[in-house]
Amino acid sequence: MTRKLFGTDGVRGTANAFPMTAEMALMIGAAAGRYFRRERAGVHRVVIGKDTRLSGYMFENALTAGLTSTGMSVLLLGPVPTPAVGLLTPAMRADLGIMISASHNPADDNGIKFFGPDGFKLSDEVEAEIEALVEAGVQPAQAHNIGRAKRIDDGRFRYMERVKSTLPHGMRLDGMKVVVDCANGAAYRTAPEVLWELGADVIPVGTSPNGLNINANCGSTRPQAAAEAVVAHGADVGICLDGDADRIILIDETGTIADGDQIMALMAARWAEEQRLHEGTLVATVMSNLGLERFLESRGLRLQRTKVGDRYVVEAMRAHGWNLGGEQSGHIVMTDYATTGDGLMAGLQFLCEMVRTGQPASDLARNFAPVPQLLKNVRFGADKAPLEAASVQGAIAEAEAALTGKGRLLIRKSGTEPLIRVMAECEDEALLAQVVDGIVAEVQAAV
């Protein structure tokens, strides 16, 4: 069936517009409840977390209504990072975990992410079955089988203890000055508290959410404010999280920004030295820089690429037993510790290397020279299919021919926003700009 609701990471869109309406959230909740409850006897639980968006209240209530109508008991965590839902779903013996968040998107957007009873995100096949149930309609439970709902007060603290436990026993951050930008999002209390409890001198940024300022000029997609804070306070390092804290961007002591590729390079090399990197393989998406691939090859390691989306990275990791992966955008997945990307956990691993080696962040965050990469986005209407236009296909073919033996080209539709993403890599920066701008112009003409 054609998927109308689910994208690369659950359901996402502008609040109070299809598919992110209260009515649709109720229907999705009922469908998910029916799918996971089936006709089995016993108590069935679902864990729900959210970020700090104003619309989170609406979707939390709508999902709860839908889920309880099919007999699911709902455990409400309140604002917590996405990885906390992945952790607490199996820990609380829940059948399902739900995170209400649009991640790095603006405050007007929201989304619904699903985790199975094992704490991992649902497969495309399961999402398709839930979507089919939404379309078919769900028979509610009998009155005496309606589920209950209650608040869980200690979920955040349980998650914090889990994050701290990933550091080597006895390791502290005493004497380290750390800027942490929480994007006015889900980790606005969690991240500063974890760093402080580990001994760091914490300089918080983006920790005053008001429901409308999540990701607004802060966080992993807007790290300039944190970079300025690092330099102004003479901090050792900066950690930038996104709205639901499942991704990270690092800032060294000079204010220079390092993306997920550099973090993964450091971790892969270190884990390989310790013989912890399963089969010498790092999993990343097609967006990761060619420089990362060359860095790994020079050390006898391998980069396994997947399509874009941390869910697909995790699926490949689980299928082959690999334990480290992520995305250039900052999702870092360590299945030894977590079921999904965890920005704070990855940040602690970086700080651990600073403590262990005594090296500054600037040395540890510059592991390879990136091949020049250019990414441009073109927004399009829901009724348009610009990639099917003959003029666009012709421009893509010409660009591929021009880059043969010199670089690579990637054109794709975003799974979370109505965008066409045009990305290319090439040592010749003039050629790089030429091919990307040429395709962007044709896509813009088509929309």
Residue positions annotated with a catalytic role: 103
Angstrom distance (rounded) from CA 395 to CA 404: 14
* Structure token pair of residue 129: 């079955």
- Crossing angle of helices 260-273 and 290-297, rounded to 10°: 10
Question: Got the DSSP string for 384-410?
Answer: --GGGSHHHHHHHHHHHHHHTTTEEEE
Contact, 240 vs 247, CB < 8 A? no
Nearest Cα residue to 350 out of 227, 180, 223: 180
Contact, 78 vs 49, CB < 8 A? yes
101 marked among binding-site residues:
no
Distances in whole angstroms, Cα of residue 310 to Cα of each of 138, 192, 199, 244: 30, 25, 31, 14
69 marked among binding-site residues:
no
336 marked among binding-site residues:
no
Q: How many CB atoms lie within 10 A of CB 413?
A: 16
Distances in whole angstroms, Cα of residue 169 to Cα of each of 164, 212, 271, 342: 10, 39, 17, 20
242 marked among binding-site residues:
yes
Question: Got the DSSP string for 4-17?
Answer: SSEETTEEEEETTB
Angstrom distance (rounded) from CA 109 to CA 70: 27
Pairing status of strand 109-115 against strand 10-14: antiparallel
Contact, 247 vs 329, CB < 8 A? yes
Contact, 27 vs 63, CB < 8 A? no
Angstrom distance (rounded) from CA 250 to CA 263: 8
Angstrom distance (rounded) from CA 148 to CA 386: 47
Angstrom distance (rounded) from CA 285 to CA 331: 11
Residues in the annotated binding site for Mg(2+): 103, 242, 244, 246
Residues in the annotated binding site: 103, 242, 244, 246
